[in-house]
Amino acid sequence: MKQAVARLIDSGCIALAAVIAAYIAPVQGHENGPLQLLFTIVIMLSSAALLPAVRAYAVLPMRSIYRLCTRLLPAWLALQFAGLLLLLSIHRQDATLVSWIAWWTCVGVVLLASWRLAAYATRSSLRLFGLSARNVVVVGSGEYFKQIVAKVDSSNHQNFRVADVVELQTADGRLSAGMGEHGKTELARLARLVESGGIHEVWLALPLSAHAVAAHCIEALRSTLVEIRLMPDFMPLGLYAGVASLDALDIPSLSLSPSAISGEAMTGKEIFDRAFALVALIGLAPLFAVIAIAIKLSSPGPVFFRQRRKGLKGLPFSIYKFRSMRVHSEERGVVRQATRNDNRITQVGRFLRRTSLDEIPQFINVLRGEMSIVGPRPHALEHDDLYEPLISGYLDRYRIKPGITGWAQINGYRGETDALEKMAGRVEYDLYYLRHRSFWMDIKIVLRTVVRGFFSKQAY
């Protein structure tokens, strides 16, 4: 999301710089007006491709102004110089046109650099007040552990704040020997702290030999959705500078959590979801009205059926469906899944479920940002409580938004899950989607849902 916003701001700065330059150094000749407009559009499109390639949108600290300049400004100057050569090769030399480009280049440098400096300064100010930081718990022991805590505390420009520390100790002072009673007590406290909310990440600052301790930490946090990062001490091996670092902190970092969708990919997915849902709701409005009338005529009760489900990060929301059953009461804490020839289902409801038309109102959930077009199907809360301790990785389904359709559904795992093996298979496909998700995979799932998803034998 941040990179998408940054690109839009850059495009705006480039366009504004062109306008300001035109006022400072007006171009003579009416025939040059369309050429100016065309040249501006070409430069804006070219910058949209070039600046990401030179990592002009990488997160940099305030102290790394030199790194910012060596990425952004040479790219902008090279782009303008190449554009000038191209323009001169297809157009007669015009001193006013060259002057406009020169001023545009200079104003562009000022605007592109200024908004970045303002953004970094604003983020630093927010960080000082703890308003934009991700809360981190650092787990470890020894000098390396203390260095990481001190480094984050002194880096006010960064997007992290040490909310708590868990200092592990053993009888002989070495973590490689395993966990002591104090360490187990601290891990239990860490689990309670994470479950209480407000903690975004847990960093394991451990020596390479403490793999058993890392395993204990992961197990203690297994039932949470917190991001876990292993920050091993590579200094004894002399590999510190060659390992991928975290967010310009220059700390070696390995993510131990399942692959999450990047912020940029999430932005594209959000745009696709909202646009698709809006078009679908508008286009299906007549069908909505027909189904609503049919439901009201089939049996007394509301048109929509609402039920609480868990969404992104396990946060609950109310999912919408067309009501397909007669109004009835369920035993508290028990959800009985629909079965073949279920006498609770109305005739209209049976058709809606068979054709998946009962799911159409979930486009409302998508428009509200609670669901996605494609993602793991949300389960009843009672089913989550039942299967979470029984199926490894079940909780990881909540690292992305639930979907109207999903990879599991188009691969045969749809409808009733009357056996543990069926739910385990569904979760396996959901986790595969989490690891391999792409825009084209989403399109493939949508198309296969439309072509093969209706009139499923597993839907009843």
User: Highest mean pLDDT range out of 206-215, 418-427, 441-450?
Assistant: 441-450
Give the integer Cα–Cα distance in Å for 319 and 375. Answer: 14
CA distance linking residue 69 with residue 108, whole number of Å: 13
User: Which pLDDT score is estimated for 3?
Assistant: 66
- Overall average pLDDT of the 125-145 stretch: 71
Q: How confident is the model at residue 339 (pLDDT cuts 50, 70, 90)?
A: low
Per-residue pLDDT tens for 203-245?
888 887 777 888 888 888 877 888 888 888 776 665 554 445 5
Residues 104 and 15 in one domain: yes
Q: What is the pLDDT of residue 263?
A: 54
d(CA 214, CA 316): 31
Burial call 71-87: b when 16+ CB within 10 Å, e when fewer: bbeebbeebbeebbeeb
pLDDT tens for residues 30-82? Answer: 666 777 788 888 888 888 877 777 666 665 444 455 666 667 788 888 888 88
> 435 with 304, same domain?
yes
Q: Are 381 and 422 in contact (CB under 8 A)?
A: no
Residues 434 and 326 in one domain: yes
Q: Pick the residue with more confidence: 444 or 338?
A: 444
Pair (269, 249) in one structural domain = no
CB 190 within 8 A of CB 204: no
DSSP 362-395: HHHHHHTTS-EEESPPP-BHHHHHHHTTTSTTGG
Report, as an integer, the average pLDDT of 442-448: 90
Let me know if residue 386 belongs to a domain: yes
Q: What is the pLDDT of residue 124?
A: 58
Cβ contacts of residue 19 below 8 Å, gap of 6+? Answer: none
pLDDT at 76: 87
Instruction: Please return the burial class of 363, using the count of CB atoms within 10 Å of its CB with bins 0-12, 13-18 and 19+.
Output: buried
Q: Report the mean per-residue pLDDT for the chain.
A: 79
Check residue 460 and give its pLDDT.
Answer: 47
Q: Please give the tally of structural domains in the chain.
A: 3
pLDDT of residue 148 exceeding 50, the answer is yes
pLDDT per position as a tens digit, 77-102 = 888 888 778 777 766 566 777 888 88
Residue 290, domain member (yes or no): yes
Q: Is residue 292 part of a domain?
A: yes
Q: What b/e readout covers 295-332, taking b as 16+ CB neighbours within 10 angstroms?
A: beebeeeeebbeeebbbbeeeebebbbbbbbeeeeeee
What does the chain come to in residues?
460
Residue 84 identity: L
Residue 299 belongs to some domain of the structure = yes
Mean pLDDT within 123-141: 68
Residue 397 to residue 434: CA distance in whole angstroms: 8
Q: Are 260 and 433 in contact (CB under 8 A)?
A: no
Are the C-beta atoms of residues 25 and 124 closer than 8 Å to each other?
A: no
**What is the rounded distance in angstroms from the CA atom of residue 236 to the CA atom of residue 266?**
38
Centre a 10 Å sphere on the Cβ of residue 60 and count the other Cβ atoms it contains: 20
The answer to whether position 196 is within a domain reads: yes
Sequence-distant (≥ 6) Cβ neighbours of residue 25 within 8 angstroms: 96, 99, 100, 102, 103
Task: Read off the pLDDT band of 29 (50, 70, 90).
Answer: low
**pLDDT reported for residue 156:** 57
**139 with 53, same domain?**
no
Going by pLDDT thresholds of 50, 70 and 90, the confidence category of residue 433 is: very high
Taking alpha carbons only, the member of 292, 290, 286, 287 closest to residue 305 is 292
For the stretch 256-309, pLDDT in tens is 776 556 555 666 788 889 989 999 999 999 999 999 999 988 888 899 989 899
Domain boundary among 128, 147, 177: 128
Residues 116 and 457: their CA atoms lie apart, in Å, by 56
pLDDT band at 361 (very low <50, low <70, confident <90, very high): very high
Residues 19 and 115 grouped into a single domain: yes
DSSP letters spanning 414-442? -S---SHHHHHHHHHHHHHHHHH--HHHH
Q: Between 127 and 209, whose confidence is greater?
A: 209
Res 174 pLDDT > 70: no
Please, which pLDDT band fits residue 429 given cuts at 50, 70 and 90? Answer: very high
User: Could you give the C-alpha distances from 422 to 125, 359, 392, 418, 457, in angstroms and in order?
Assistant: 51, 21, 14, 7, 16
* Contact by Cβ (8 Å): 240, 252: yes
458 within domain boundaries = no
> To 10 degrees, the CA torsion angle through 223, 191, 435, 249?
180
Identify the domain boundary among 221, 255, 289. Answer: 255
Q: What is the mean predicted confidence (pLDDT) over 175-204?
A: 78
Amino acid (one-letter) located at 269: K
Examine the domain organization and report whether 138 and 61 are in the same domain: no
pTM, full prediction? 0.62
For residues 204 and 161, membership in a common domain is answered with: yes
| pLDDT score, position 175 | 59
Q: Residue 402 above 80 pLDDT?
A: yes
Tell me if 231 is assigned to some domain: yes
The answer to whether residues 78 and 154 belong to one domain is no
356 in a domain, yes or no? yes
Across the range 329-354, mean pLDDT stands at: 70
Say whether pLDDT at 362 is over 90. yes
| CA atoms of 159 and 263, how far apart (whole Å) | 15
Confidence class for position 338, pLDDT limits 50, 70, 90: low
Q: How many whole angstroms separate alpha carbon 384 and alpha carbon 390?
A: 10
Pair 44, 119 in one domain: yes
**pLDDT-above-70 percentage for the chain:** 75
Position 143 pLDDT exceeds 60: yes
Domain with residue 164: its CATH number is 3.40.50
Residue 376 has pLDDT above 90, yes or no: yes
Do both 376 and 287 map to the same domain? yes
On whether both 70 and 157 belong to a single domain, the answer is: no
Phi, psi angle pair for 393, to nearest 5°: 80, 5
Confidence of residue 407 (pLDDT cuts 50, 70, 90): very high
Q: Which of 226, 255, 284 is the last residue of a domain?
A: 255
Domain holding 195, by residue range, is: 134-255
